[in-house]
Amino acid sequence: MARWRRFLGAAAAALTVASMGTLMQASPASAADDGPQQVVGGTTATQGEFPFMVRLSMGCGGALYSSTLVLTAAHCVSGTGTNTSITATIGVVDLQSSSRVTRKSNYVYRAPGYNGNGKDWALIRLASPVTGYATLPIATTTAYDTGTFTIAGWGAASEGGGQQRYLRKATVPFVSDATCNSSSMYNGQIIASNEICAGYAAGGVDTCQGDSGGPMFRRNASNAWVQVGIVSWGDGCARPNKPGVYTQVSFFASTIASAAASLGG
């Protein structure tokens, strides 16, 4: 069964910036099904390589949309409203680094109409701005929704594994909607209008549990990073013919921008 790529279970409640950090992806399933997901088959990122990466204390990832907003997955949050319980860790590869920057949340905005089937995005507003770190622009057209993408996170490095201390990265190729929805892959489960698949038919490289909400991104025509996806779900991690499934950011770009403006970001 498909599983969200949020890190759940006994460790989730105790997740702290000092102890957790592996890239993982999740799929729509019950907590009982959830296995650890991280960037499987990747390598450790270098300090400063992806300054927009954010680790969230509930066991998810995210990206700096602005100095006060983090873009993540809807399934990582409980709903829209005041929320002061989330800690965001920013600016480091090593979650235990003394130079890490942390901010508490003060509000969460979850995609309107989210019910666990598509629309998997949310914005977390930070209690105070972070400065000196690059934000990650989102794709506003489908121009960059194909090709080769970069994924990164602190989720599990293998299916069922633990969260990572150091940020990991990998590259994955685009998989067409038709291929991803074929009987050999997800057999019609993909929402073609607003989800993107990426991965290798042979498996081996993928996001995993703990990577949910993190960005999938690539270079644009100006060689700058642009976010095209949000880690959402998948069947296990890095299994053959089971690519990762990501929220298609370009489809929601205008709605995300409007929500960000309403939050002052």
User: For the domain that residue 211 is a member of, what is the CATH number?
Assistant: 2.40.10.10
| 32 domain residue, yes or no | no
Instruction: Tell whether 203 and 101 lie within a shared domain.
Output: no
| 6 domain residue, yes or no | no
User: Which stretches of the chain score pLDDT less than 50?
Assistant: 1-2, 9-38
Write the burial class of residue 44 (CB in 10 Å: 0-12 exposed, 13-18 middle, 19+ buried).
middle
pLDDT of residue 137: 98
Instruction: Tell whether 147 and 233 lie within a shared domain.
Output: yes
CA gap 258, 180 in Å, rounded: 30
pLDDT of residue 36: 30
**209, two tokens:** 């549990």
pLDDT of residue 220: 96
Domain hosting residue 59, numbered range: 53-135+253-263
Catalytic residues: 75, 120, 212
pLDDT of residue 18: 37
pLDDT of residue 3: 66
Phi, psi of 206 (to 5 degrees): -175, 165
| 75 domain residue, yes or no | yes
Residues whose CB falls within 8 Å of the CB of residue 146, separated by 6 or more in sequence, listed in order: 174
CA gap 83, 98 in Å, rounded: 26
| 44 domain residue, yes or no | no
CA gap 21, 53 in Å, rounded: 12
pLDDT of residue 8: 63
pLDDT of residue 38: 41
Instruction: Tell whether 153 and 241 lie within a shared domain.
Output: yes
| 93 domain residue, yes or no | yes
CA gap 257, 248 in Å, rounded: 14
pLDDT of residue 6: 74
Q: Provide the whole-model pTM.
A: 0.89
Least Cα distance to 235 among 34, 22, 23, 58 occurs for 34
